[in-house]
Amino acid sequence: MTVRIETERLILRPIEPRDCDDHIAMMSDPLVAETLGGVQSRDILWRQFASYLGHWSIRGFGWFSVEERNSGAWLGRVGPWMPEGWPGLECGWTIASSAWGKGYAPEAAIGATKWIFAQFPDLPRIISTIDPSNTKSQAVAKKIGETKTEETFDFSGFKLDVWAADRASWLSRFG
Ligand SMILES: CC(C)(COP(=O)(O)OP(=O)(O)OC[C@H]1O[C@@H](n2cnc3c(N)ncnc32)[C@H](O)[C@@H]1OP(=O)(O)O)[C@@H](O)C(=O)NCCC(=O)NCCS
């Protein structure tokens, strides 16, 4: 599937094999990895990246690579994620630390969520699974209209909060 989402400052496109080294570099940054279980070895990060390509193959959707329109720089991964056992269709976000604080994650997540709701007309809500200590990610969730639910999700020893926005209210605000 050829997908290209343009926002004011960003381009989103499906993550591709050529993004592997940029992705590993981002995930090898202790600032980024701090809220994602800590820095992992390159071989583990390679396998993680391979699973992202596999997610696109199996599900027909998956992470988008985020590029800065002006520079073409690769900034991170944002978008739909729902591996087996996930509590719903998630919009997730991780941005390289050199580009933090510019509102890129919420801008990309709004573009991605518009695409998700258009792609899945019967999807009742979008979720994000967020560690209770991850205030940066909670700030993004709030900016894209999600609120914390009472639900939690146990993932690899972490008890994550489920944040969500229902379709009708999200589309009335951002659609
Ligand atoms: C969460 C994340 C995607 C936010 O990306 P972003 O493009 O910087 O998003 P924003 O610019 O909207 O900033 C979000 C919040 O991050 C914090 N922040 C921004 N710049 C920061 C910086 N340089 N240093 C520390 N915190 C910063 C602020 O609290 C900000 O909220 P505010 O705008 O209400 O003050 C990014 O911090 C990241 O990739 N973190 C590591 C991976 C991660 O935790 N992913 C989410 C897993 S659920």
Note whether residue 164 is domain-resident: no
Q: Is 66 in the pocket of ligand 1 (CB under 6 A)?
A: no
Give residue 2's pLDDT.
86
Report yes or no on 175 lying in a domain: no
The predicted-structure confidence for 91-150, as pLDDT tens digits, reads as follows 999 999 999 999 999 999 999 999 999 999 999 999 999 999 999 999 999 999 999 999
Q: What number of CA atoms fall less than 13 Å from residue 82's CA on the CB side? A: 14
Can you give the pLDDT at residue 159?
Answer: 96
pLDDT at 5 over 70: yes
Cβ(142) – ligand 1 distance below 6 Å: no
State if residue 90 touches ligand 1 by the CB under 6 angstroms criterion: no
Would residue 43 count as lying in a domain? yes
Q: State if residue 32 touches ligand 1 by the CB under 6 angstroms criterion.
A: yes
pLDDT of residue 10 exceeding 70? yes
> 12 with 64: CB under 8 angstroms?
yes
CATH of the domain at 44: 3.40.630.30
Does the residue 98 lie in any domain?
yes
What is the percentage of the chain residues whose pLDDT exceeds 70? 99
Domain of 9 in residue numbering reads as: 5-123
Residue 51 domain-assigned? yes
- 38 touches ligand 1 (CB under 6 Å): no
- Asked whether residue 128 is domain-assigned, the answer is no
For residue 84, the CA-to-ligand 1 centroid distance in Å is 27
Q: What are phi and psi of 148, to 5 degrees?
A: -75, 130
The pLDDT-based confidence of 42 (bands split at 50, 70, 90) is very high
Q: Which long-range contacts (CB under 8 A, 24 or more apart) does 46-51 make?
A: 46/20, 49/19, 49/20, 49/23, 49/24, 51/83
d(CA 105, CA 67): 11
Q: Give the pLDDT mean for 67-82.
A: 98
Question: Are the C-beta atoms of residues 115 and 11 closer than 8 Å to each other?
Answer: no
- Report the nearest-CA residue for atom 27 of ligand 1: 101
Q: Is residue 157 part of a domain?
A: no
Which range among 81-85, 107-111, 155-159 shows the weakest confidence by mean pLDDT? 155-159
Query: Can you tell me which atom of ligand 1 is nearest the CA of 32?
Result: 41
Q: Is 138 near ligand 1, meaning CB less than 6 Å away?
A: no
For residue 94, what pLDDT is reported? 98
pLDDT for 97: 98
Examine residue 84 and state whether it is found in any structural domain, yes or no: yes
Instruction: Kindly tell me if the per-residue pLDDT of 1 is higher than 80.
Output: no
**Average pLDDT score over the chain:** 97
Number of domains within the chain: 1
Query: Measured in angstroms, how far is the CA atom of residue 173 from the centroid of ligand 1?
Result: 22
